[in-house]
């Protein structure tokens, strides 16, 4: 377990790192002026190579993701080996790689050559490609089998739920002085994630409440599903009739009659970002700053990837700027 001086130093470093992130004004400036060439120079420190555009976008996304991961692991490295909570937090990167690998396997695509994150388990998975038993047997992913590949959405959802369950377990096991505000932040995150899942499944797949319930994160003795369940009271094709929906505050910024789900997801990201920014200063001791930094980087990554996607789709710069300004606020 870390000592107080290490945590104080970590808190100071995270406050400094926050001020340099591509969020709010800096993110809006990046979005306004971004070209694939300028982003390439920012992340690769070199001129744009003479390659096909799809390759350039894919490589840029890989670099952006790898840089975000590196920055968190670099600051968390003093605590990773000895702290189960930090290990559980970092495992998000491993879960993301496994989810992507399931997609590659299900699509019969070739073994990936370059990854944004690696560890001994990921190395083992790649070395034994594509033999599922050799890849995942004896690990927390041992349930992955050909049937899982046949229902990719359900498998990836199970991985998400598995990650949150493990993170909750390890956070709950921390001594009280080190927990700070993490449990309440994590409960809010899971609650909002369930809401987004429920709305996505309704909008894009026509799922009923009964179909959605088994796919939600659950925590024994805690309500993280109520908001998602109440979302079935919302008429997603006529949000003007949402006056009685308890979460109608999330509809701020909606412009049409039908629910604009991407806009609501940005609203949710902004809500989580605001909570993390406040918690960083309310709980400067313990591991709350590290958890907040993890989420700050996740928010920044979503912003930059959104800018890249906007460039790919030739989205007007105003829309990309709005994404960055969704996370506006005072610097840490």
DSSP 15-78: HHHHTTSS-HHHHHHHHHH--HHHHHHHHHSSPPPS--HHHHHHHHHHHHHHHHHHHHHHHHHH
- For the chain, domain boundaries: 84-180
Q: At what angle do helices 288-313 and 261-282 cross, to 10 degrees?
A: 150
- Cβ atoms of residues 228 and 197 within 8 Å: yes
Token pair belonging to 137: 């047997």
As a whole number of angstroms, the distance between CA 67 and CA 168 comes to: 26
**Per-residue pLDDT tens listing for the chain (332 residues):** 556 677 787 788 888 887 777 766 676 777 777 888 988 888 888 888 999 999 999 899 988 899 999 999 988 888 887 789 999 999 999 999 999 999 999 999 899 888 888 999 999 999 999 999 999 999 999 999 999 999 999 999 999 999 999 999 999 999 988 999 999 999 999 999 999 999 999 999 999 999 999 999 999 999 999 999 999 999 999 999 888 899 999 998 888 899 999 889 888 988 888 899 899 999 998 899 999 999 989 888 888 888 888 888 877 666 655 555 444 443 33
d(CA 256, CA 72): 38
């Amino acid at each position: 377990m870390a000592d107080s001086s290490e945590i104080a130093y970590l808190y100071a470093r995270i406050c400094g790192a926050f001020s340099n992130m591509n969020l709010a004004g800096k993110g809006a400036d990046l979005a306004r002026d971004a070209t694939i060439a300028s982003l390439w120079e920012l992340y690769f420190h070199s001129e744009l190579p003479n390659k096909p555009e799809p390759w350039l976008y894919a490589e840029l996304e890989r670099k952006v993701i790898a840089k975000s991961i590196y920055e968190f692991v670099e600051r968390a490295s003093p605590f990773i080996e000895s702290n189960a909570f930090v290990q559980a937090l970092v495992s998000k990167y491993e879960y993301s790689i496994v989810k992507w690998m399931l997609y590659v396997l299900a699509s019969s695509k070739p073994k990936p050559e370059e990854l944004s994150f690696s560890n001994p388990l990921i190395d083992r998975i790649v070395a034994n490609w594509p033999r599922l038993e050799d890849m995942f047997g004896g690990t927390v992913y041992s349930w992955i089998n050909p049937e899982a590949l046949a229902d990719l959405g359900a498998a990836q959802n199970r991985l998400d739920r598995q990650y949150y369950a493990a993170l909750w377990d390890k956070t709950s096991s921390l001594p009280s002085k080190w927990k700070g505000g993490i449990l309440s932040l994590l409960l809010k995150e899971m609650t909002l994630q369930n809401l987004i899942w429920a709305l996505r499944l309704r909008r894009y797949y026509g799922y009923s409440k009964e179909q959605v319930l088994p796919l939600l994160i659950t925590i024994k003795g805690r309500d993280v599903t109520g908001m998602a369940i109440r979302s079935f009271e919302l008429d997603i094709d006529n949000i003007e009739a949402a006056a009685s929906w308890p979460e109608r505050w999330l509809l701020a910024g909606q412009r049409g009659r039908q629910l604009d789900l991407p806009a609501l997801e940005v609203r949710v990201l902004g809500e989580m970002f605001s909570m993390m920014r406040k918690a960083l200063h309310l709980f400067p001791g313990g591991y709350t700053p590290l958890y907040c930094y993890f989420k700050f980087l996740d928010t920044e990554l979503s912003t930059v990837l959104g800018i890249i996607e906007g460039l790919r789709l030739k989205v007007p710069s105003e829309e990309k700027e709005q994404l960055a300004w969704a996370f506006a606020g005072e610097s840490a």
